[in-house]
Amino acid sequence: MVTLKIVQVGDPVLRQRARALTRDEIGSPAIQELIVRMRDTMRDAPGVGLAAPQIGESLQLVVIEDPPQLQAGLSPAQLAERERAAVAFHVLINPVLTIETDQQIAAYEGCLSFAGFSMIVPRWRRVRVEALDEHGEPVVKTASGWYARILQHEIDHLRGVVCCDRMEPRTLTTQDNHLRYWRTMPVDAVLAALGPMPADAQ
């Protein structure tokens, strides 16, 4: 396994709009090797998704996988609340995302390029993604709940957007403090506990 360095917030590559790949590029040894290394890097981190800009390559390429072992610490009730189920490994190239609902769900999420932190981010509950797979073949993914969140998070990276751009600012926390204080609380309770920005601080 050869893993890649994951760049962190502040690196200019995370703020660029990634370029599309051609079908010839997709089939090239360089891109096929990049996909394998991105998969291994994501699994080693561990994470549920990784976009090419996160390893310094401004390309419209993401890998996604949410295996059962990453859900082991969550109760059945928490999995149901998050609408989270296992997602097999797959590759999306040149993805186009369409929102298929007017409902947003707020939940804690982290980012491998914002290491050590979690934050509450509102995301659309249901989306559709049209893309190419690692063979250059068209694929369509329709997702809801946590999988829809992963898709939105990773595709944001291809547009130069990081989750902190969309977060509820007062919910930013270290992952240690998230586990210590907030992990078992419903999102509404967290937002109520933190309250709005004080008027004299705006």
DSSP code per residue over 111-138: -TTSTTEEEEEEEESEEEEEEE-TTS-E
pTM over 0.85: yes
Mean pLDDT of the chain: 96
Confidence class for position 184, pLDDT limits 50, 70, 90: confident
* Percent of all residues in the chain with a pLDDT value above 70, rounded to a whole number: 100
- Tell me, yes or no, if 154 is annotated catalytic: yes
Kindly report, residue by residue over 54-113, the tens digit of the pLDDT. 999 999 999 999 999 988 888 888 888 889 999 999 999 999 999 999 999 999 999 999
Q: Which backbone phi and psi does 74 adopt, to 5 degrees?
A: -105, 140
Kindly report, residue by residue over 2-31, the tens digit of the pLDDT. 899 999 999 999 999 999 999 999 999 999
Identity of residue 95? P
Q: How far apart are the first and last CA of the chain?
A: 48
Domain 12-104+129-161: give its CATH code.
3.90.45.10
- In the block, tokens 């090239």 appear at 28
Domain ranges of the chain: 12-104+129-161
Residues 139, 141: Cα–Cα separation, whole Å: 7
In this predicted model, which residue has the larger pLDDT, 189 or 77?
189
Q: Cα dist. 181→70, 151, 168, 184, 186 in Å?
A: 21, 28, 17, 8, 12
CA-CA-CA-CA torsion sign (189, 80, 42, 133): negative
Range 179-185, long-range pairs (CB < 8 A, 24+ positions): 182/108, 183/108
Active-site residue (options: 65, 109, 134, 154): 154
